[in-house]
Every structure is written in structure tokens, then in C-alpha cells.
Amino acid sequence: MAFDIRCLKCNVKLVFDDPPVPGELIECPKCGTTFPAPALALAAAENKAAEVKKPTHVPKKVRPKERVHFSSPLLLLIVGAIMGILFGVLSVWWWWLYKAGKAEDMLACVPDTFNVIRGVNMKAMANYPKMKPEQEKFFDNEAQSVYVDVAKALDITGENSLHYFVSAKEAGKANTPTLLLFLTRRPFDPGKLGGGSVTAYPGRRQAQVVCPTDRIIAVAWGGNDGAILNAVAANARAKPGDGMHTKVGTAGLMAIRGHIWTIIRPVGGLQNYFKTSADMIKEDGAMKVLMDTFAGSSLLATWTSFGSGGVRFGAGMNCADKDTAKDLVKDMKNGPMGKADESEPPHKLKTVFNFLTVHKEFLQYLEYHSSGECAYLISKIADPEKARDALNTFNSQHRATGGGGGFDAMRGAGGGGPPGMDDRRR
């Protein structure tokens, strides 16, 4: 590496290949002056060498990442929000199970021979006063008077003391009692009516009552009341593993989550009810897969619920197995009733369910699904006032009362039936 020094006399530049040792004598070739090599020569050479070795790219300095410090209030706010979300999810989950559990408690009391069961979630329906006529189709004037009489004897007070109402009947058979079940919002003292034993109903002759638990009241009349109520009491006290709540299958368990529901079992006097109903619609060859499946079904359930989105409808049947349910759903989606608002119900189906001719909105939102052995449909109508015809079908108090046969009973004028099971007594 070249190194230069200026002559101290003539200032000529002297170039050296290697820097001279400090103090070493240097002779200027121009003027002949001799002088010692300065001490700065070595330092200059070293500096120049360092500059040559200096890298052309200087790496950027990385600043250490600053630590984020949470304040205590912010941390508490975040933890509180997370806990709130978890609590909300758990609350919804608990509410859902709790709502279904009350209906299952009521179903557990119903004897195995009963084939028509209707329920009203009275606590939920209190939020929809405009829908009171719908609940009164089952919780009619006579059923209301029964509850008032028994509640008075039990010192149950308050206009909204009733949580759930269920009516049951062994339809299609003579001299069978009507069974009314009332679930109260708060416990009472069953001892005021003889505890879990069957006693005379305080407001009606030939009727009997039992309070199998401190929340359930059962009243029956019109047949072998004592035997029926003894079975009710035994079922309610033990909530047996083979009670009615275990016999309704997926369709029944779906239905009881509705606000108003009906369950029909083709047993006893209704053994041929499904087949007769199916044959009515199959006359014109319409929807053969649906009607064949329905004819062999073990249970039919319908339900309605109310909310800010309007009226929601559901109907389901328990099929022979899950594959049968899936095949039925597939057939319905591909059939004339699976084209939304462009659906064209078969003539016979419109004759039986005449609301299908006027409710395009019902057809627009109509969906078909399956769950296990259950095939079911759901739909909705936003305006409750426009849903009256559909509500009359899904909440029919005449269906499967043993008269008329098949679906004709769904359109009949009814009249004269037992309380809670037929027309309203005004």
C-alpha cells in the first residue's frame, strides 16, 4: 500500500511503498535535504489501512423491542370481557337444556298408552301476548278453570304461576280419561292435596288429582282415573328410564323445544291413523316417498315458536332408520315442494293443507333436514297476522282426536272434545 510524505524544505511529495519507521532518515531526491521520518507516518498508515478494510455495508442497529406494560385496569377489563363471553355461552347452553328438561319432566309422567300429547311453554308464551289465542287452543277455558281450582287449594297465587301445561289423551278409544299436567314456577306443598296419593278433585265430580312432586299437578277424569293417576304418580316420582320422554325419539325431543307442540303416536286407537292419512294424499300419486315413509312412521310431531323474526314452524317424523330419513329429505328437496317460492304443492296436499295455496312465504323459507332417524321440515312467516292459517294447521286442536279419520280431523270443525284436547270452551 503506497504511503506519501512531504519534504520539509521543498514540499515535494515523496511516495513510499511501505511507511518508514518513525525517526528513520529520509533524503529528498529533489533538493537533497535529509530529515527524519515523522512519528505521524505510522499512525497515518494504520488509519489508511483501516479505512481500506472498513466494510462497505454497515449493518443497521437493531433497537431492542420495547416491552408492553399493561395497566391493572386494562388487564382486569380484558379478563372480565373473556369471562363475560364464557358466561354468556354457558348461560345459553344451560337455558337450552333447562327448557327442554321441563318438557321432559312432564312427558315422563304420561302413561305409555297415551297417543296424543300437546304442550305449551306458558312461561315463554307470556312474552308474546298477541299469541294468546294460540295457547288457548290447548290451555282453554276449562283447563284454565281446573288449574285455578287446584292452585287455590294448594295456595298457589300469582297470575303467572304456571310454567308449563301438557294435555294428553288415549285418542280413538272410548272411556279413557283426559290427563292435564301443570308445572308450576315455584314449589308448593303437595301435602295440602294428600301428597303423592290420588284424591278427589276439589272443583269437579268424578275427577281426581295427584301431586307427584312439589312442582307437578296431574288431574284426570273421564275414565279409569285412579289407575291412570297412580301410573302418573309413579312415573313422576321415579322419572323412569323407560318413560314417555324416552319413547318420542328425535322428532319428539325436537318438538318439545318449541313454544307450542303436538306429538302423535300411532298406537292404540290411532294405530292406523298415519296409514289412513297417507292414503288420502296418495290418491293422486303425489309425493309417494313421503307418504310411504309417513305410513310406517312411529311418531309425528309439529311445533311452532315465536320471536322477533316472526313465527317459526316445524314438523318431523321418526323413520325406520337414519338412511330412510336421509332418502326422504333428498326426495323432498328434488320434488315439487323443494323449489322455494316456485314450489307447486300437489293438488291433494293443497286440499288437506289449504294454507299452502296462500302462503308463498312459507314455501320460500321451507327447508328439509334429517337428524338421526328423524326427517323434518322447518319454515317461517314473518308477520304473525298473516300466519293464522298455518298456525291453525300446526296448532290444530282437532288433529288425531279419534274422529273423522286421517288428516280430515285437522280441518274439521271439532267441538265437544275434552278440555285441552279439542275446541275452546267459551
272 lies in a domain? yes
More confident residue, 251 or 232: 251
CA distance 384 to 414: 24
Residues 6+ apart with CB under 8 A from 336: 286, 287, 343, 344, 345, 346
Indicate the residue among 247, 267, 288 that finishes a domain. 247
**422 is a domain residue:** no
359 within some domain:
yes
Q: Which of 363, 387, 400, 235 is nearest to 311 (CA)?
A: 387
DSSP 58: P
> Do 279 and 373 reside in the same domain of the chain?
yes
Looking at the structure of the chain, the number of domains it has is 2
Is beta strand 3-6 parallel, antiparallel or unpaired with respect to 260-264? unpaired
Residue 235 and residue 114 share a domain: yes
301 and 397 both lie in a single domain: yes
Q: What are the strands, taking DSSP E only, across 273-393?
A: 299-307, 310-318, 367-371, 374-381
Q: How far apart are CA 401 and CA 137, in angstroms?
A: 14
Spatial neighbors of 401 by CB under 8 A, at least 6 apart, are: 116, 169, 171, 409, 414, 417, 421, 422
Question: Residue 6 and residue 171: Cα distance in Å, rounded?
Answer: 128
Distance of CA 153 to the CA centre of its chain: 38
- Identify whether residues 293 and 305 lie together within a single domain: yes
* 235 and 256 both lie in a single domain: no
- Grid cell of 46 as nine digits: 494504520
8 A C-beta contact, residue 331 and residue 338: no
Instruction: Give yes or no: residues 213 and 309 share one domain.
Output: no
Q: Which H or E run contains 116? A: strand 116-120
Q: Which residue has the cell 327448557?
A: 99
| Window from 24-33, 75-84, 105-114, 417-426 with minimum mean pLDDT | 417-426
Q: How many CB atoms sit inside 10 A of residue 104's CB?
A: 19
Tell me the helix, strand and coil percentages in the chain, rounded to 5.
Answer: 40, 20, 40
* Residue 1, Cβ density class (10 Å: 0-12 exposed, 13-18 middle, ≥19 buried): exposed
Q: Which of 268-277, 302-311, 394-403, 413-422 has the highest average model confidence (pLDDT)? A: 302-311
In sequence order, the 6+-apart residues with CB closer than 8 A to the CB of 36 are: 22, 23, 24, 25, 26
User: Global pTM?
Assistant: 0.70
What residue type is 151 in one-letter code?
A
- The answer to whether position 213 is within a domain reads yes
pLDDT digits (tens, 9 = 90+) for 282-319: 655 667 888 889 899 999 999 999 998 899 999 999 99
- Domain span at 279: 250-411
Indicate whether 174 and 208 sit together in one domain. Answer: yes
C-alpha span between 231 and 234 (Å, rounded): 5
Give the span between the Cα atoms of 264 and 267, in whole angstroms: 9
Are 235 and 303 in a shared domain?
no
d(CA 236, CA 107): 9
Kindly state the DSSP code that residue 274 receives in the 8-state scheme. H
Question: Residue 182 phi/psi, 5° resolution?
Answer: -125, 130
Percent residues over pLDDT 70 in the chain: 70
Is the same domain home to 147 and 106? yes
Average pLDDT over residues 48-64: 51
Q: Is 231 in the same domain as 320?
A: no
Which residues have CB under 8 Å from 100's CB, separation 6+?
Answer: 253, 256, 257
pLDDT of 95 higher than 50? no
When pLDDT is averaged across residues 86-115 and rounded to a whole number, the result is 70
390 located within any domain: yes
336 against 154, higher pLDDT: 154
| Residue in the block written with cell 288457548 | 136
340-397 confidence digits (pLDDT tens): 656 666 555 655 565 555 567 888 888 999 999 999 999 999 988 888 888 988 898 8
Final residue before a domain boundary, out of 204, 232, 247 = 247
Residue matched to cell numbers 296419593: 197
Q: Kindly state whether residue 234 falls inside one of the protein's structural domains.
A: yes
Domain boundary among 208, 230, 247: 247
Confirm whether 27 is domain-assigned. no
Q: Say whether pLDDT at 227 is over 90.
A: no
Q: Is residue 33 part of a domain?
A: no
Lowest-pLDDT range of 207-221, 232-246, 333-347? 333-347
3-state secondary structure of 338: coil
pLDDT at res. 62: 47
Look at residue 181 and give its three-state secondary structure: strand
**Numbers of helices and strands, H then E, in the chain:** 14, 15
Average pLDDT over residues 74-85: 78
221 and 354 both lie in a single domain = no
Residues 275 and 341 in one domain: yes
